[in-house]
Amino acid sequence: MRIIAGAFRGTALASVGKGDPGAHLRPTTDRVRESLFNVLMGGRFGDPVTDAVVLDLFAGTGALGLEALSRGASHVTLVDDGRKATSLIRQNIKTTRSSAQTRLIQRDATRLPTCDGAAASLVFLDPPYGKGLGMKALSGAVDTGWIAPGALIVFEENAPQPAPKGFNVLDTRKYGDTHVTFLERDAQ
């Protein structure tokens, strides 16, 4: 795994190889991450990355959030409760020398504390597939103030996701067994 573009381009990230089923780590492949960022940066959504406040739920290795930071996001909060995942995230923050622009919350992504900073304008959501945890985490993040009105949510799952109340589906894409649903939170 590596950072695809931006300030950290080419930086090799700590990897779990093909994944760690015991730790529920299933890293987004470089190819899917590159395709996903091509969609994000392709103009359909404007430019949701530059100067964005990013929330990466079920962060795993932190690759999605760190890719956004590399491409111009101002800050990223990475959330995961796994020991292996948080160890990999810490290592990747150190490798990219991005500790001043990152925050790691070692906690269940469905039970976030109240947000004590700027709400996220871009959210990556990559829960363990098929367990309903993504919708629960999304709802919790809204309730605790982590997601700004008008925020773009990039939701990876094993099937397209419906828009929960207060959100609209903007697009869906399929990459192998990964379905990416792009949601927008209603501007209130």
Q: What tens digit of pLDDT does each residue of 89-139 get?
A: 999 999 999 999 999 999 999 999 999 999 999 999 999 988 999 999 999
Tokens, residue 172: 């869906």
Q: Which residue has the higher pLDDT, 6 or 106?
A: 106
Domains of the chain and CATH, by start: 21-185 (3.40.50.150)
**pTM score:** 0.91
Q: What is the C-alpha separation between 38 and 175, in angstroms, rounded?
A: 13
What pLDDT is recorded for position 11? 86
Helix (H) or strand (E) segment spanning residue 178: strand 178-185
Tokens, residue 18: 């093909």
| Average pLDDT of span 136-146 | 96
pLDDT at 12 over 90: no
What pLDDT is recorded for position 19? 47
Q: What is the C-alpha separation between 62 and 80, in angstroms, rounded?
A: 9
What pLDDT is recorded for position 174? 92
- Give which of 109, 124, 119 is closest to 37, Cα–Cα: 124
What pLDDT is recorded for position 91? 95
What pLDDT is recorded for position 36? 87
pLDDT at 20 over 70: no
Q: Among residues of the chain, what percentage have pLDDT more than 90?
A: 68
On whether the CB atoms of residues 70 and 7 are closer than 8 A, the answer is: yes
Q: What tens digit of pLDDT does each residue of 35-82 get?
A: 889 899 887 888 999 999 999 999 999 999 999 999 999 999 999 998
pLDDT at 18 over 60: no
